Structure 1
Amino acid sequence: MKRCVLFVCTANSARSLMAEALLRHMAGDRFEVASAGTGPTQPHPLALQVLTESGISVEGLRSKQLADLQGEHWDYVITLCEKAANECGRVCEPAQQIAWDFRDPVPANRHATFALTLKELKERIGLFTLVHQKETGLKALNYNPVSVFRALGDEIRLAILMLIREQKKLCVYELTTALDSSQPKVSRHLATLKEAGLLETDRQGQWVYYYLHPQLPHWLMRVLDETSDGNMGLVETEQKRLKTMGDRPVVRFI
């Protein structure tokens, strides 16, 4: 299951935005990431520039108000300056609170200062991901084709995978509606798919979303892609039910 990390600084214009982009770039398969500020302004052009020059995507980066994200589930809240740590107090509990202290590059307004901050953040985040990996005992999954095709050899489970492949993330409520099936039955099939290493989960508030496991091998992704491309009507009815749902939960993509 992906861990959810929230980076916080004062303006959410440089340090926390760079940290958000860095962690997503370095370990986006293991972490859901966001950033916010106690007094957000807007992304600093030099922060975006040094990220882009380092080959790190800045797509979707924007300054956000901390209060707007406090209702979400977070495993870690990492403050990047003493001022933010003091202003935040104990936010997003029971998240683990971590205090880092990086000098704000904005007052200097120099490319070299932003580049140095990016370098220092990259080193610290690298240590953070290494420690997390050791703590969780994360290791590469070994996908046995027999187990995989046994899990796929059921009409409902195959439909679940096709729907999630198309929609990226779906919760049990959405799947029960799409499949016109009971919650216990859908949950059993989801458990089988997760046990086989085909799905992972991400909790957002009261909802638990299922998505394709980020470590799925290329050969298995090709199987799913070609199954979908060669059978266009396989989950057509189920997709129509999803589209007509009037009260679908709002999934947050980070």
Structure 2
Amino acid sequence: MKRVLFVCTANSARSQMAEALLRHFGGGGFEVFSAGMAPSEVDPRTLQALQDFGLETAGLKSKSVESLADQHFDFVISLCDKAHMECRHWPGSGVVMAWDFPDPKDSGDPKAFARSLQEISERIRLFVLVNSKDVKSEVKSVQPLDFFKSLADETRLRCLLLIAQQGELCVCELMAALALPQPKISRHLGQLRKVGLLLDRRQGQWVFYRIHPLLNDWMREILQTTLEHSAQLLETPRARLGEMNSRPLAEGSICDEEDVNGI
């Protein structure tokens, strides 16, 4: 398990987002920490943005880099210039990286925190793709015609939007959300994976699907814009998903992934 530390000045927004996102997308392959050069309280808008994204926020708190100074990390990743200057020679670190994202606290945009979370999530997905041993799919460039053909089918569009909104979903969750049988859901997921829109990973008995981390930015923006302006498309599916009794990560839950690997 690789140890990753995210650092920024206050450890109140960007590094907290990165910590929560890597825990969510990392599939248990990373031990994740965050800290600040001058730690303060976690900004409530950070917690709200994470919760709106469907991420767990329990246990997130601001910490100082001094509290972790004697620990080894495979990656030390700064999210602002100041933190990078002060942490570029972290004792015993493997790789030191600089990800410079604007501080959403300095913005007057009411969507600044949501936008920061989206931008950091794209970088986290790429980081997981490059550093995860579980990723076996080859990188494929999605062709514009294949992209728009995929959006032209209602089931595929709803699958893409639900996955983009939730981060990851398995077949059983999409079956519940869309009230469709497993063979139909699996067939559409297979088509989306074949053209390069989705990436899958196995965790125990489940296979999870997520938007491909290397999807073109303009394609990702179209999905995000559609999410923002077509809430009615997902109103019923989200309600069904919320009522699902046995989500796949719940203890004792059952998810029928028959034929998923043979798509």
TM-score, length of structure 2 as denominator length: 0.51
Matched, 1:35 2:31: no
The one-letter code sitting in structure 2 at the alignment partner of 1:58 is T
Match of 1:196 in 2: none
Deviates more, 1:109-118 or 1:68-77: 109-118
Distance 1:102 1:25 in 2: 20
Match of 1:185 in 2: none
Contact 2:12-2:42 within 8 A present in 1 as well: yes
* Cα RMSD (Å): 2.3
Deviation digits for residues 18-66 of structure 1, max 9, x if unmatched? Answer: 0000000111411110100010001001000000011000010000000
Contact 1:77-1:92 within 8 A present in 2 as well: no
Deviation digits for residues 115-171 of structure 1, max 9, x if unmatched? Answer: 1100000000111111112xx4766xxxxxxxxxxxxxxxxxxxxxxxxxxxxxxxx
Distance 1:45 1:54 in 2: 14
Question: Residues 43, 137 of structure 1: CA spacing in aligned structure 2 closer, same or farther, 3 A cutoff?
Answer: closer
The one-letter code sitting in structure 2 at the alignment partner of 1:32 is E
Distance 1:74 1:68 in 2: 13
Distance 2:108 2:68 in 1: 28
Match of 2:184 in 1: none
The one-letter code sitting in structure 1 at the alignment partner of 2:127 is F
Distance 2:45 2:108 in 1: 8
Match of 1:54 in 2: 53
The one-letter code sitting in structure 2 at the alignment partner of 1:125 is I
- Count of aligned pairs between the two proteins: 144
Contact 1:12-1:36 within 8 A present in 2 as well: yes
Q: Percent identity over the alignment?
A: 47
TM-score, length of structure 1 as denominator length: 0.52
Match of 1:129 in 2: 128
Greater C-alpha radius of gyration:
1
For structure 2, the residue ranges without an aligned partner over 5 or more in a row are 137-201, 207-250, 253-263
Distance 1:110 1:44 in 2: 15
Question: Residues 94, 88 of structure 1: CA spacing in aligned structure 2 closer, same or farther, 3 A cutoff?
Answer: closer
Matches within 5 A, 1:34-183: 34-108=33-107, 110-133=109-132, 136=133
The one-letter code sitting in structure 2 at the alignment partner of 1:48 is L
The one-letter code sitting in structure 1 at the alignment partner of 2:73 is W
Distance 2:58 2:110 in 1: 20
For structure 1, the residue ranges without an aligned partner over 5 or more in a row are 140-213, 219-224, 227-254
Question: Residues 119, 29 of structure 1: CA spacing in aligned structure 2 closer, same or farther, 3 A cutoff?
Answer: same
Distance 1:90 1:111 in 2: 36
Shift of 1:215: 4.7
Distance 1:109 1:90 in 2: 34
Distance 2:67 2:45 in 1: 25
Deviation digits for residues 179-236 of structure 1, max 9, x if unmatched? Answer: xxxxxxxxxxxxxxxxxxxxxxxxxxxxxxxxxxx95448xxxxxx99xxxxxxxxxx
SS of the equivalent of 1:73 reads coil
Distance 1:54 1:215 in 2: 21
Shift of 1:94: 3.1
Matches within 5 A, 1:199-210: none
Contact 1:40-1:63 within 8 A present in 2 as well: yes
